[in-house]
Amino acid sequence: MPQYRDDIRNIAIIAHVDHGKTSLVDVLLKQSHVFRENQEVGELILDRNALEREKGITILAKNTAVEFRGHKINIIDTPGHADFSGEVERVLNMAEGCLLLIDSTDGPMPQTRFVLKQAMEKKLKPIVVITKMDRPTRRIKEVLSMTQDLFLELATEDSQLDYPVIYSSSRAGFATTDPDVMGTDMVPLFEAIINNVPPPEIEEGYLQLLVSNLDYSTHKGRIAIGRIRRGSISPRDPVVVIDKNGEQHRYNISEVFTHMGLARQEVDKAGAGDIVAVTGMEEVNIGDTIASPDQPEALPGITIGEPTVKMTFGVNTSPFGGREGKYCTSRQLRARLYRELETNISLRVEDTDSPDVFLVSGRGELHLSILIETMRREGYELELSKPEAITKVIDGKVMEPMEALIVDTVDDCIGDLTEMLAKRKGRMTNMHHDDMGNVRMEYHIPTRGLIGFRSAFLTTTRGRGVMNTLFLGYEPWQGEIGTTRSGVLIAAQAGTAVTYGLNNAQGRGLTFIDPMTEVYEGMVVGLHARGSDLVVNVCKEKKMTNIRSSTSDIAIKLTTPVKMSLEESLDFIEGDELVEVTPKNIRLRKKMLSAHDRKRAERAGPGEESDE
C-alpha cells in the first residue's frame, strides 16, 4: 500500500510564451501572504534576471512555494519560448501536476502542444487555466473546443481527459470556475490544486534525489536543486553523487534548504516529496543522483532534445580586439563556454581545428543569442558566424530540422509573407480568417528558412504581426534556399567616419554607423542597394578650396543610420561575414578584412572562404 504526503503539492506552470505564467505566480505569491503588508515587490517577481525583464520572457526555470490551508504548494515557473524548452524538460520530473495556461483569445499555441505532450508523457495531472479573462476579445467556447481537441490528440490514457478548468485574470487578481461570473480572489485555483493534484508518494528506504537544477553562491559554492524521491536528507549527512557515467563521488551535505516565497529556508531535515536545495558538493551536475552511501542507486537521468542550430564562437580577431572587453583570450572563452554546459543542458560545445574557435549548438537563434548577450555583459569579446541548421544523414539521405510556424497578422500582409515564405521553402498547412481582418497562417518550414526571417517579418508586417515556432522533427533536405539579402557596403580603410564620406555612402545604400564612429578595413558599414558588395571610403573628408572650407559638410543632412540588435545582426550576416561582439559595441565585418584577400578568394572559386 503506497504512502503519500498529503501536506505537499508539487506543480509546474507550463504554457506558450506570453500566456501569463509569471504574472500568475505573482498573484499566487501576493494572495498567499508570503510578503509583509507594506512590502514593495513589484511585478514579474520571479523574473529577476536583467535579460528576462528587458525581453519580457522567462529564460530560466525557477522554484518558489506558498502555503494554503495547511498545505505547502511548491511551484515551478517554466519558460514559454520554444528555444528554452530544455528548461521545461528537466524540471517537470519534480512535479505531480501542472497548470496548463491558455490565453482566452489566442487559444492553444505551438509551445502549448509541446509542453502538454511532455506533461502527458510524465503522467502529470493537468489543470487547465484559461487566462486573461478581463480581455474584451476573449472567446471561451472556441478556446475550450481547441483545448479539448489538443487533449484528445496528446492524451496517453483516458484519465488525462478528465481535467478541471479554471478561468482567471492575473491583472484583476481572480480565479473562478464559472466563466460568466468574475471572481474576487485566487481561492478557486488554490482549491483546484489541493483537490486535483495528487500528493507526492512516499517511498521508504535510503536517500535518492535527482538533481534537476543548479545554482551558485560565492559563499556556499554549488547548490543542487531537486526533489527527494526516497528517504530523507539532513546537514552533515554523508552522500554519494552518481554521475551519468555511473561514477561515484563522496561528500558531506553542508546545508539543506526548502523554498517559501522568494526565500530559501534552512531546515534540519527534509523528506521524500520535498523540493530542496543542498550544498556541500564540489562536483555535481544536472541529471546526477544524490544517494545514500549505504545503498547508492541512480535514478533515470534527464533526457533532453537535441540542438537544431549551430554557430561558431571565436576570439575577437578584429583590429579593435582587446580594446573594450575584460576577457579576450581563447582560454577564457573556452572556460566560460564549458562552464555554461553545467547549467544549460540544451547546449553543446565542441572544440574545432582552430584553438581560437568553438562550435556551439543550441535549440534556436534566441537560445544562442541569450548566451551571447549574457557573456557580452560579463565582459567577453567574441566573434560569431552565421547560424546554421544542424543536418543529419539517415539511411544515406540528408535530413534537416523542420519547424511549425504560426503567423498571426492582418490581411494586407498575406501576399508579401506568402511570397517570402515560399522562397524559404515554407509549405502552408492551414489558413484561417476572422471577421475583423486578421489572419492566421500555419506553415511547415526548414529551420534554416527561419534564420533571418524574424527581422524580415517585422519589417514586412510593420509591427502588425506575431510569429511562433515549434520544432517538429527531421525531414529530407528541402533544397537550396537562395540569398534573400542585397550586398553590403564595406569600409575601405581604417579611420574615423565623417559626414562627407557617409553622405557619399548613403548615395549607394543604407548606412549602419554615425559620424565619428571608428572603423577598420573590412568592416561592414551599410547595406548596398544592389546585389554585389561595394567598398566605400566613409573616412573621406572634403578638401578645402578657395571657395569652400573643409567644414562646409557640417550642413549636410544624413539619413538616420540603421541600428541592429544582436539577433538582427546574426540574422543579417552571410556565410563570409562575422558579428563582432564586445561589451560596448556590436559590429559587422567580413571574415577576410583585406579587399585584396577577398578578390583572390573569389577568383579561386568556392574552395576558398567566399559565398559571393
Q: Which residues are annotated as a binding site for GTP?
A: 18-23
Q: At what angle do helices 110-121 and 140-154 cross, to 10 degrees?
A: 40
- Using CA atoms, how far residue 125 sits from 10, 112, 282, 472, in Å, is 11, 15, 36, 25
Q: Within 10 Å of residue 515's Cβ, how many Cβ atoms?
A: 19
Strand duo 523-528 + 488-491: pairing: antiparallel
CB 104 within 8 A of CB 139: yes
What DSSP line would sit under 453-488, residue for residue? HHHHHHHHHTT--EEEEEEEEEEE--------S--E
Of 336, 308, 490, residue with least CA distance to 392: 308
Exposure string over 135-163, b if 16+ CB within 10 A, otherwise e: eeebeeeebbebbeebbeebbeeeebeeb
Helix (H, G, I), strand (E, B) or coil at 6: coil
* Chain CA centroid to CA 356, Å: 26
SS3 of 372-417:
HHHHHHHCECEEECCCEECCEEECCEEEEEEEEEEEEEEHHHHHHH
Owner of C-alpha cell 553622405 = 503
- Using CA atoms, how far residue 601 sits from 432, 594, 598, 606, 608, in Å, is 49, 11, 5, 8, 5
Q: What angle do CA 406, 62, 114 make, to 5 degrees?
A: 30
Evaluate the CA torsion angle 166, 171, 174, 176 in order and state its sign.
Answer: negative
The CA distance from 83 to 366, in Å, is 6
CB 304 within 8 A of CB 345: yes
Binding residues: 18-23
The CA distance from 344 to 337, in Å, is 10
User: Where does residue 215 rank: exposed (0-12), middle (13-18), buried (19+ CB within 10 A)?
Assistant: middle
Of 480, 467, 456, 313, residue with least CA distance to 400: 480
Helix (H, G, I), strand (E, B) or coil at 229: strand
The residues near 89 (Cβ < 8 Å, ≥ 6 apart) are: 118, 302, 303, 304, 305
The CA distance from 130 to 179, in Å, is 9
Owner of C-alpha cell 575577437 = 316
Q: What are phi and psi of 335, to 5 degrees?
A: -60, -40
Q: Which residues pair with 73 in a beta bridge?
A: 9, 66
All three cell numbers of 254, joined, read 553542508
CB 505 within 8 A of CB 513: no
